[in-house]
Amino acid sequence: MTKFYVVVCLLGVMSLTQTFKVTPQPPTWPSAFSVDFHEVYRFINISAIPSNDGAWYYDYNIRRARFDHLQGQSNYFCQGRGLTLKDNHSDCHLIFATEMYVHYPREKQCCRCSMRFGPGVRIGPDTILEHRACGPAEGCTVLKPAWLTGAKYIGKQTISGMVCHGWEKQGAVAADRWYQREDGTPCQYWEMLSIPAHLLHTMTFNVSTYKVGPVQRSVFDVPHYCNITCPNPYP
């Protein structure tokens, strides 16, 4: 009877374990990493899909990040900033340092980002501005490693032949998703933007290029000629 009782208890525990599965908690990024990606933009109901390769550099220890959107890019932060360019789809680096910068290295064109506020927006107690630099206070800063805290687990998805876990969190203008493998290797960043309407943006990572650890600081250097404010601010 004792052995029978033990077997019954074990079966009961196994049944409870299967019934009450633990939901994976939102991950925390390593404090520093780099990885290459393939980027796709798609407007819903439009067949044309511009795509390009790129690279992601992140080092929260020094509060720096850089996103390289390479030839063919249609990145909405790179485009339309008012720089004098021969090809606005050429390589564009978005550098997050003390402020955010848009840099076209092939053309040696660069500017400091700014944001546009409606007339009469009061920024301080005695100051009314229409434009101001895009820095940490405006959200132009490096994501915290724990930015996914509170994100909703959305289950598993196969990406590039890999089984990846996903989490979703609503941002200021987009629904953000992050997918990664069981071992923490990133699979994909996904966002659906409401402005412009129904724009799906994905960055699918090349896992063979994923490296955890400090990034060479010179990667985040702002070019000496990046000394003007972008003529066209972000709305």
Show me where the domains of the chain are located: 27-220
For the chain, give the longest Cα–Cα distance: 86
pTM given for the model: 0.82
CATH architecture under which domain 27-220 falls: Clam (2.50)
8 A C-beta contact, residue 38 and residue 51? yes
Tokens encoding 212: 């955890």
Write out the chain's pLDDT in tens, 235 residues.
455 444 434 444 444 344 456 788 999 999 999 999 999 988 777 766 779 999 999 999 999 999 999 999 989 889 999 999 999 999 999 999 988 999 999 999 999 987 765 554 444 444 444 556 666 666 677 999 999 999 999 999 999 999 999 999 987 677 899 999 999 999 999 998 766 567 888 999 999 999 999 999 999 999 999 999 998 887 6
Which H or E element spans position 38? strand 32-43
Instruction: Give the CA-trace dihedral at 163, 32, 148, 40, to 10 degrees.
Output: -60
